[in-house]
Amino acid sequence: MHILRELGLVFHFIGLGMVAVGILSGPILSRILWKKLEGSAAEAKTAGEILGRLGMIPTYGGLVLLASGLLMLQVEQWARFGQIWLTAKLIIYVVMTLAGFIVAKPAGARVMKLIASAVNDKTFDREEAARLRRRMTIFGLFQAILFLSAISLAVFKP
């Protein structure tokens, strides 16, 4: 069973890296998207599609984290289950996941609609763009704080 725990730990770090890539690259890619949208709508459309696909990396990373975490708990016969730090970490995981579906997914769809309007109708709603940009920036900060909190809980196990 020792090898399963080690394998779970390796996959846990892979999932952690996938989530980290999304959280760290999100603000950079979003900045590129908004700059493109102010310039060329066609380039913004391409950037939006790329950003949408890259936005799936943290989602898959979260699934890898969940599966590998459950594997490690099973190997340890659920000995750590119920510890405060782990419960708090799981709550953070659920909040991050729900926030992604409640905030990021609809906002991403609205951004793509905004881009399509700029490409097709040659109209660009700057007020809507500013609202979406603010919303996505706040979402990114919220996710980063939660992510760092989950890592802190796992490392320091208060």
Mean pLDDT per 10-residue segment, the chain (158 residues): 88 94 87 81 81 86 92 88 90 92 89 84 81 91 94 90
Indicate left, alpha or beta for 28 from its phi (over 0: left) and psi (-120 to 50: alpha).
alpha
Tally of domains within the chain: 1
The model's pTM: 0.84
Residue 138: domain span: 2-156
Res 1: pLDDT: 62
Alpha-carbon distance 29 to 38, whole Å? 15
How would DSSP label each residue in 2-42?
HHHHHHHHHHHHHHHHHHHHHHHHHHHHHHHHHHHHHH-HH
Res 41: pLDDT: 75
Res 40: pLDDT: 76
